[in-house]
Amino acid sequence: MSNPHTFWDALISRATHSGVAHTPEAIHKYQSAFFEQETVHAVSLRLYCQCHLPSPCSQTCEDYRASATIDLDHDREDLASDRKISIPALRVLWGAKGMIAKYGDVVAEWKKVCHEDIVEVTGRQMDCGHYIAEEKSEELLQEILDFLQ
């Protein structure tokens, strides 16, 4: 990416990210992890992989690209073949001020891709935007602890 900071600025300026108050320290940590491969245990990774790994920024772009292309193909194949999630429980959380809340009943959508007789699907929206961990950290931690018990 020729200017990752421009990409970052565009990412965090979306309406779904409004009202998020990142501390300067949090922004530095995000940008360090996002742009500087050395911050992601690169020395150990290089020794382990002995290869060049793409930057976290390019990996994020590839993930977004896949969600609009090959992931959709895989999802359609799974639905057509009746392949569904078969785990004991799934807890879905999303920000009420983010994009996900605009798409309807999120829990019902996840139930469609889970085996109803195997998977207990629960979830709720939280009073925040995209950055749940930053905006509602204590509440999110409690959700995780409750789910794991």
Beta strand pairing call for 120-126 and 89-95: parallel
Q: Is 114 helix (H, G, I), strand (E, B) or coil?
A: strand
pLDDT (tens digit, 9 = 90+) per residue, 15-52? 666 666 667 777 777 677 666 655 445 555 454 454 45
pLDDT (tens digit, 9 = 90+) per residue, 68-84? 899 999 999 999 999 99
Reference 120, options 85, 146, 95; nearest CA is 85
In DSSP notation, 49-76 reads H-SPPPPHHHHHHHHHHHHTTHHHHHHH
pLDDT (tens digit, 9 = 90+) per residue, 116-149? 999 999 999 999 988 898 889 999 999 999 999 8
Considering the entire predicted model, what is its pTM? 0.64
